[in-house]
Amino acid sequence: MLRLQVFNFHLFVPPQIIIIMLRKLLLLCFVMSFCSQTFAQVGIGTSTPDPSSILDIAATNKGLLIPRVALSGVSNSMIDGKFTNDTDLLIYNTNALLGTKIQALG
């Protein structure tokens, strides 16, 4: 038996109740550890990514390979039969536009 004094009252708590309370407290701490929100940068080839970046790639002898897609025109918005309207989509066009002149976008 554990004797607790609360507001000048003596409470006797059996050990089974204390064990149940500690288990619930441990479960609460475990759940709360997964609920915390973390912010982190990802670094490839570096152990200290720049805090202002989401992805920091560092290499001295290799580069970044961008996805390759064959577009049929400069203003083509169809990739693999899907309509894309992303303004910041970065791809490498593998379909060379031979025999046509370069057109301004816009």
pLDDT digits (tens, 9 = 90+) for 59-75: 888 888 888 877 766 56
pLDDT at position 85 over 70: no
Give the span between the Cα atoms of 50 and 80, in whole angstroms. Answer: 35
SS3 state at 92: strand
Look up residue 38 and give its two tokens.
């973390």
**Global confidence as pTM:** 0.37
